[in-house]
Amino acid sequence: MKKLLTILAFITAVVAVAQTKETGDSALAAKNYEKAIEIYEKVLKTAPTTAAYTNLGNAYYRNKNMPKAILNYQRALKVDASNDVADFNLRVCNAKLQDRFGEPEGLFFITWLSEVISSKSSRAWGGWAIVALVLMLISFAGYRLLSSVRWRKTAFFSMIFFTIMLLTFNVFAAMQAHEASNTQKAVLMKDEKVYDSPSTQAKVQNNLHEGVTVILLTEKNKEGFILVRLPDEKEGWLHAEAIEKV
């Protein structure tokens, strides 16, 4: 009986969350953005889904709160890195930010390779790995079954090529999965100075504006500073109160 009551309570909670989310969707469609924000924030406390984070980001964007919009698109991608809508909306928001960063310093090939790997999610690279596996098996079957020497050679070299692609895509997928699980990002909620050491008396490296996404490198120290990495790979200290973790 107790187990049945638990199941019923769970079903009731799921239905309630779904109904609440529908109310939020209706408020968003009706351009009642503040109401939609309130509802989605409530939903996310019990059911943190990528769709709810995306819609909350949309509501904040329409309500002209760019930092919060970026934060929630980032959270949507953290739940599901293959969320193309959140990824596109995030790119749109980042393109509208006041700050512009140059390319990270380093060898051209390394920078280019990093951009290629980051262009797709771990799941997307995994999908490409499956495609490469299928093509490799087809090539292997062709090599074993074809009688023509020319076609067998073609199948053999194709098999080698797709094997290399399979390994490459799996490595890319693993790197993206590691990046997603081990990188702690945060979004700047207000304009903030970046210092070269954890002190307001230190040299100011940069003046950042709200909405910039940074990578956290340390926990907040007793002075309230935290070490971060900027989009151009430079590092600096800023007040922890100025950011909100993804």
Looking at residue 79, its pLDDT comes to: 87
Can you name the residues that pair with 225 across neighbouring β-strands? 239
pLDDT at 16: 43
Measure the CA–CA gap between 207 and 29, rounded to whole angstroms. Answer: 37
How would you classify the pairing of strands 225-229 and 185-188? Answer: unpaired
Spatial neighbors of 131 by CB under 8 A, at least 6 apart, are none
Residue 178 confidence (pLDDT): 80
Geometric angle at alpha carbon 182, from 179 and 184, rounded to 5°: 100
The answer, as to whether pTM is greater than 0.75, is no
Q: Render each residue's pLDDT in the chain as its tens digit; 246 residues.
A: 555 444 543 444 344 455 567 788 999 999 999 999 999 999 999 889 999 999 999 999 999 999 999 999 999 988 887 788 998 999 999 999 999 886 666 667 777 888 788 778 788 899 999 999 999 999 999 999 999 999 999 999 999 999 999 999 999 999 888 877 667 999 999 999 999 999 989 999 999 999 999 999 999 999 999 999 999 889 999 999 999 999
* pLDDT at site 227: 97
Diameter over CA atoms, the chain: 78
Cα angle 59, 62, 124; round to 5:
65
Tokens of 84: 């193309």
Distances (CA, A) of 170 to 98, 122, 128, 154: 37, 9, 9, 24
The pLDDT assigned to 107 comes to 65
Nearest of 73, 17, 65 to residue 45 by alpha carbon: 17
Answer yes or no: are the C-beta atoms of 246 and 184 closer than 8 Å: yes
Cα gap 153→234, rounded to integer Å: 50
What value does the CA radius of gyration of the chain take, rounded to a whole number of Å? 24
Q: Which residue shows structure tokens 């939609």?
A: 36
